[in-house]
Structure 1
Amino acid sequence: MLTKLNSERDALIENNLGLVHACAKRFKGKGIEYDDLFQAGCVGLVKASDSYDKSRGFAFSTYAVPAILGEIKRMFRDGGSIKIGRTQKEKAISLVRLRDELTKTKGEEPTVYELADYAGLSTFETAQLLNAVIPPMSLTVFDSAENERQMDLIGYDSRADMTDKLSLHTSIESLPEEEAKIIKLRYFSGMTQAQVAEILSLSQVQVSRKEKTILKKLRGII
């Protein structure tokens, strides 16, 4: 019975990804990358599939669209990042540990499909859970000559220990609210300093100075 329920849930998700695209397109070009909008919408789709009760007589799409839009709108309120609960974060950390154990046992890193199979989760949920807690990003840091250079902190192709990435993400979340917003808007949402300044009611010079200070602070974590 449990397997049947999981299969029905996965089918609901896979068959309604078009709803996520339709909702995400409404917000395209408004300051957040489309892939991030789609990812947030998928979180809403998963939540809707978990709580949908077809016995109530309405279509899944009617139930899912508000949940999808809610998660996308939440991204704009949160400065472009996806918030997940403590339980989900703990599940993600468990997945990371399982991945590391399988890597040691097999001598190679498991695919998302293999990891999902071992964890007893759908491939979609496994990917979304990890992507939500570990978003890909790059930060521009400054050397002694104040010249900009790119440093990839978190990326899908990195082979660095994912637990360290989780710690870095947590460090960004622990910054003072204004500092965290500056980093999220600049490097998660891809906004210019001028755009960030307008949103936070600061001058561009203030944003530039604050950004340099925050990045230097984060360099101590890397």
Structure 2
Amino acid sequence: MYDRDKAVSENLGLVHSCAKRFRGRGIEYDDLFQAGCVGLIKAIDNFDESRGLKLSTYAVPVILGEIKGLFRDGGAVKISRGLKELSLKATREAARFLKENGREPQISELAHILGVEPEQATEALNASRLPVSLTADEENGSGQLDIPTDSPDEKLTEVISLHDEIKSLEPNDRNLILLRFFKNKTQSETAKELGMTQVQVSRREKKLLIYLRERLI
């Protein structure tokens, strides 16, 4: 059983990290942070360590869900034309990268492709996920967009399902996925650790990603 006060204190940085994603979008930062703290407490109270997840992994979707709820209940968000254009470019480049490499780009990789800072790339990706409102005002160079409000429970289910699917893989395949996507190793570094060639890692990685996607759909 977690000590709630201690767990909250140790994970406030996680709340700040989540709240900062929505800074400058029409709601005061203190309100974003407060909602995130509510999400953190909910996550701590419902966390089941036996699932094999870290508290931080479990908590992030719940924290984000509470913060997004502010936008659902309180209105919409304005974004600039420049951000919308960068968002469209980010979406195109991310799709191209996925097609060529069999995986989604890391934020640092996407930022390099776009020629922007990682923070800007993250903001562009977040904006690309916002459904455009019918009241968007193109004449004034900005659009009104609603923050998506996916259920935190759905996100948690996705995380837990992915974790379970990875655990069910053969040891070598599981290590490949862990090295590539959780430890951010390059294909060459992964090949060296697993006693494979870079080409073998690339081919196996693509097959595993397809398999995991099919299992999770």
Q: If the length of structure 1 is used for normalisation, what is the TM-score?
A: 0.36
TM-score by length of 2: 0.36
